[in-house]
Amino acid sequence: QVQLVESGGGLVEAGGSLRLSCAASGRTFSRYVMGWFRQAPGKEREFVARIGKTGDITSYVDSVKGRFTISRDNAKNTVYLQMSSLKPEDTAVYYCAAKTGWATSTDYWGQGTQVTVSS
């Protein structure tokens, strides 16, 4: 079992920045591909970014490329999402996710953290 706890969400003005963190329990953090998803009101959950087990590979949804950066610290069992140039359309609940393979389905989810971007 892996437990994921997100933090760092909040209210920010458009153009601002936030850094989300996701702390994972257990000693097997480095065995998982980590990702971030988000769900806006009335919309389906969507992929935002993911990072390989050693941090050497990343991918992003087109809408956040150049603005968001995913990173991880395996010594701290933590994955981060640095968000810059935030837009009102980035408003959503952001979820941390862990999975065993790059293209596999998610095995574990966090509880989510709210990000609200005001215009």
DSSP string, 49-96: EEE-TTS--EEE-GGGTTTEEEEEETTTTEEEEEE-S--GGG-EEEEE
Band the pLDDT of 1: cuts 50, 70, 90. Answer: confident
Average pLDDT value for the chain: 96
> Would you say residue 27 has pLDDT above 80?
no
Please state whether beta strands 33-39 and 92-99 pair in parallel, antiparallel, or not at all (unpaired).
antiparallel
pLDDT score for 26: 79
Q: Average pLDDT in the 36-53 region?
A: 97
Q: How far is CA 24 from the centre of its chain?
A: 13
Predicted pLDDT at 54: 96
Note the pLDDT tens digit of each residue in 63-112: 999 999 999 999 999 999 999 999 999 999 999 999 999 988 999 999 99
Cα–Cα separations (whole angstroms), residue 26 to 6, 34, 48, 74, 84: 15, 14, 24, 11, 30
Q: Return the structure tokens found at 78.
A: 């933590």
pLDDT at 39: 98
Portion of the chain with pLDDT greater than 70, in percent: 100
Of residues 111, 85, 79, the one with CA closest to residue 12: 85
What are the CA-CA distances from residue 63 to residues 7, 45, 52, 56 (Å)?
22, 14, 20, 21
Rg of the chain's alpha carbons, rounded to an integer?
13
Share of the chain above pLDDT 90, in %: 92
| Distance linking the first and last C-alpha atoms of the chain | 40
| Whole-number pLDDT of residue 63 | 97
